[in-house]
Amino acid sequence: MRIETIPAPNRTRIAMQATSVMEALRDFPIPLAAAFSFVALIGYLIGHFRRERSQKDVSGSRRELKRAWSTLRQMESLNTELRRQLDGHQSTLVGFKDRISNLSSLSETAAWQELSAAAETLLKPTQRLTSHLANAYDELRQQTNFLMTFTEVRTDPLTGVSNRRALDETLTTLVAMHTRYKTTFSIAIFDIDHFKRINDEQGHLEGDRILRDAARLFDDCVRDTDIVTRYGGEEFVVVMPETDLDGACIFAERMRQSFEENMPCTVSCGAASAICNETAQALLGRADTALYDAKNHGRNKVYLHDGESTTVVTEPPAGQRDEDTSERRKPQRAETCSAGSTSS
């Protein structure tokens, strides 16, 4: 970058900082060339740090912008469907009006029978439309809330994916939709195997790099409507709207294989799908119980919780089984759900 392209206030500030550094170095027996090299090194490190932060901010912004576009497309699709239903209902109303007009030519008994049949014919689509409008209102409110909180702090600063706050808000909304409209959604909790060992043997900087690479891998594999969150430490939760338990297990197994092929570590996973009269914490608890079983039976596996018990989804080859259980996690106990499982 040429000096002319730097705004005047910035040029002045940079010159003052360089001058102060040179004055501080004047009292030390350091050759002039070495002093200039030292100043250049400081400038490079500052610029490199700012560039890394800028790239991380751009990556997070692109991810949120992608989700925002997906939300707007869903709202547009919902608006189109409402128009279609309202046009159909308008045709029904016009037909009902014509039938009422024709009743004047019928006898009284026949007229009442015809009126009753016409009213029943009109009532059924009206009830359906009312239900659809209520559902559409809730969906629009959900999407609007997302867009209103678009600029709020909902991103994990290290990995750039959504944070625990975004997870809690998303699960609260999806559980409410499931309770009212029986919509389906599932979650999967992923835990990086032997992450503590990585930190201890290779350092926390390497551990942070693996977490960022894991987040990018999740982003590459999920749908636009899925939400990737950092649950804490080395755990990630993927929320999958309109996905049943079988679909969640297929995705979880695909992610397990992707980690084997693209990462220097493996992951264990617990998957669960929403069931009736279940809180968000109970759902997380069932997925966490499945994750615990995956860790407790050798790691690098996917387990599911179907509401009553856990079942293994994958069995890696015998040579890849991890028999070391020194880092097995125990799920914390919390409220009990209908299946008798626990939440963390």
**CB neighbours of residue 238 within 10 Å:** 27
Tens digits of residue pLDDT in 83-101: 676 666 666 666 666 666 6
Task: Give the residue with greater pLDDT, 158 vs 48.
Answer: 158
Residues 6 or more apart in contact with residue 12 via CB below 8 angstroms: none
Which of 4-18, 100-114, 238-252, 326-340 has the highest average model confidence (pLDDT)? 238-252
Using CA atoms, how far residue 319 sits from 251, 298, 323, in Å, is 23, 11, 10
How large is the greatest C-alpha to C-alpha distance in the chain, in angstroms? 117
Looking at the predicted structure, is the pLDDT value of residue 262 above 60?
A: yes
Q: What's the average model confidence in pLDDT over 77-81?
A: 69
The dihedral over CA atoms of 96, 101, 104, 105, expressed in degrees to the nearest 10, equals -90
Which pLDDT value is given to residue 243?
A: 96
Q: 3-class DSSP state for residue 232?
A: strand
Helix, strand, coil shares, percent, the chain, to 5? 65, 10, 25
Q: Domains along the chain?
A: 153-320 (3.30.70.270)
Which pLDDT value is given to residue 342?
A: 35
In angstroms, how far is CA 269 from the centroid of its own chain? 16
Which pLDDT value is given to residue 46?
A: 57
Which pLDDT value is given to residue 278?
A: 95
Which pLDDT value is given to residue 329?
A: 37
Task: Give the residue with greater pLDDT, 26 vs 236.
Answer: 236
Residues with active-site annotation: 234
Tokens 């309109």 correspond to what residue? 242
Q: Give percent above pLDDT 70 in the chain.
A: 48
Quickly list DSSP for 97-117: HHHHHHGGGS-HHHHHHHHHH
CA distance 238 to 290: 15
Tens digits of residue pLDDT in 286-344: 999 999 999 999 999 999 999 999 999 965 545 544 444 333 333 333 333 333 333 33
Q: Please provide the average confidence, as pLDDT, over all residues in the chain.
A: 75
Cβ proximity of 47 and 17 under 8 Å: no
CA distance 96 to 119: 8
Cβ proximity of 249 and 167 under 8 Å: no
CA distance 294 to 314: 10
Tens digits of residue pLDDT in 171-229: 999 999 999 888 999 999 999 999 999 999 999 999 999 999 999 999 999 998 899 99
